[in-house]
Structures are given as C-alpha cells and as structure tokens.
Amino acid sequence: MSAYDKPDSWSLKAQKAGYPARSVYKLEEIDGKFRLLTPPRGGNPRVLDLGAAPGSWSLYILRHYPGAFLAAADLQALSRRYDGDRFDGPDFFFIQGDFTSPPVREELLRRGPYTAIVSDAAPATTGSRTVDVPRSLALAEEVLLYADQCLAPGGNLAVKVFQGPGAAELLGRLRRDFTGVRAFKPAACRGDSFETYYIGLGKRSKVEV
Ligand SMILES: C[S@@+](CC[C@H](N)C(=O)[O-])C[C@H]1O[C@@H](n2cnc3c(N)ncnc32)[C@H](O)[C@@H]1O
C-alpha cells in the first residue's frame, strides 16, 4: 500500500462524518472562506459539480444547502455508501461520462444556468509533472468554458489546477472573467501535492439566471 492509498486522518474523519473522500474538507474550507455556494441574488443555489466522484462535494452541497439544485458529472460512478438516497432526489442530476464531450456538455448546459460551478476534476496522474500539469490545465480550460456558457452573472467558480507552466495564464483568464480571483490551497491538500484551487468570485457576463 502506498502512502497515497493509506487512509490518513482526513480520510478517516471524512468517513466518520459520512463522506466517501477527504476532499470534502477542501470544499468546506473554500465555501466557508469565500461563501462560494451562496447565490449572488439570494434564493437557492444551482450548482454544477464537475469531476464529482466518489461524491463528497456533491453530498456536502446537498446536505448544507437544502433546496439547492445540483448537477454533477464524472467518468466514474458515485459511491452510494453514504448518500442516504440523496442522489435519487429530484433536485440532483448525475451523468456518468466525460464532461469535455459534447453529449455530456449538452445535458449539463440544458440544466443551467448555475449560480456556482465547482470542479475537483483531475486527470489520472502519471507522476510526471510535464504530463500531468498540461492535462490538468486542459480540464480547467474546459471548466472555464462551462463558466462562459452557463454560469450566471455574479456566480462563483472553484477549479482545481495542478501548478506548473501555463497555470499563470489560466489565472489571468479568470481575472478577466471574474471581479475577484484567488489562488487557494486548503489545509486538507496533501503536503506534497502540487494542486491548488483557483477561485473566481462574481462572474462578469451576460448569462441570465
Ligand atoms: C479528486 S476526484 C474528485 C473527488 C470529488 N470532488 C469528491 O469530493 O468526491 C477527481 C475526479 O475527476 C474525474 N474526472 C477527471 N477527468 C474527467 C472528465 N474529463 N470528465 C469527467 N470526470 C473527470 C475523475 O474520474 C475523478 O473521479
């Protein structure tokens, strides 16, 4: 078992709290710090979760924002171990597939616009930064395309990015599209990981909710 496979204190804490993955603490911290999921004009959030499996972020959203509508996508199925049938509810839509593909995009756009988009999506890592960073940036670019197409004005975005060449340009693009932009590494990120989250607050644009 590698150090990455071993359940650490964050993973054990997540399981005890009824979440399949430690990543829930990253969204919890981001949401607490930036009020990411609070809609700009009041009312219930409408959230898009890209790269959602095994489902901790989706469960966090459904548990903390009753009345929210949530659409989610992942290549993998969601874990059904902790959701207590929440993933069967009428305010939740999940599609298993590649969110960069046209049919998945169409299904997700059809259910928008959204007041927040979150993406914890990561490529299958090879251990080589020269391979993994561009793949992560390509996914993040696709997430920004969703923000262009279906994030409401004033809406917020959090997208995971592996740090490396090209990441600064992506941050520049966020600065153009959002009134507030931060690069933020939550405490629950593994110490040796080169992931960070780019946060876009208050989208400037024309999509109406
Ligand atoms: C770190 S996990 C997400 C964990 C999730 N936020 C949670 O809290 O349970 C990253 C996910 O991104 C997904 N992913 C990567 N590329 C994708 C793509 N093109 N389309 C859909 N999902 C993708 C992977 O399948 C993986 O499940």
CA of 97 to the centre of ligand 1 (A): 10
**85-120 burial, b if ≥16 CB within 10 A, otherwise e?**
ebbeeeebbbbeeebbeeebbeebeeebbbbbbbbb
Q: Which atom of ligand 1 is nearest to the CA of 124?
A: 15
pTM: 0.95
Nearest to 49 by CA among 30, 185, 33, 175: 30
Q: Does residue 74 sit within a domain?
A: yes
Ligand 1 and 54: CB distance under 6 A: yes
| Residue 78 lies inside a defined structural domain of this protein | yes
189 pLDDT exceeds 90? no
Whether ligand 1 lies within 6 angstroms of the CB of 75 is answered as: yes
123 CA to centre of ligand 1 in angstroms: 8
Reported as type and span, the H/E element at residue 133 is: helix 129-150
At 207 the pLDDT is 47
Residue 3's pLDDT band, with cuts at 50, 70 and 90, is: very low
* Per-residue 3-state assignment (H helix, E strand, C coil) for 184-207: ECCCCCCCCCCEEEEEEEEECCCC
pLDDT tens string 72-126: 999 999 999 999 999 999 999 999 999 999 999 999 999 999 999 999 999 999 9
Judge whether 209 lies within some domain: no
Please indicate whether residue 62, judged by its CB atom, sits closer than 6 Å to ligand 1: no
Among protein residues, the one whose CA lies closest to atom 13 of ligand 1: 51
Q: Report the number of distinct structural domains present in the chain.
A: 1
In a domain? residue 190: yes
Question: Does the structure show a pLDDT above 50 at 1?
Answer: no
Residue 158 pairs with which residues in a beta bridge? Answer: 118, 199
Amino acid at 19: Y
- Report the C-alpha dihedral over residues 146, 188, 165, 173, rounded to 10 degrees: 30
Within a domain: 4: no
pLDDT, position 188: 87
Which amino acid, one-letter code, is at 186?
A: P
Q: Which active-site residues does the annotation give?
A: 160
CATH number at residue 45: 3.40.50.150
Range of the domain at 128: 9-203
The Cα angle at residue 29 between residues 23 and 34, in degrees rounded to 5? 130
Establish if 1 belongs to a structural domain: no
- What digits encode the pLDDT tens for the residues 30-79? 999 999 999 988 999 999 999 999 999 999 999 999 999 999 999 999 99
* Residue 208: inside a domain: no
Amino acid 2: pLDDT: 47
Phi then psi dihedrals of residue 114, to 5 deg: -115, 155
Q: Does a structural domain hold residue 148? A: yes
What percent of the chain clears pLDDT 90, i.e. is strictly above it? Answer: 88
In this prediction, residues 149-175 reach a mean pLDDT of 96
Contact 133, 162 (CB under 8 A): yes
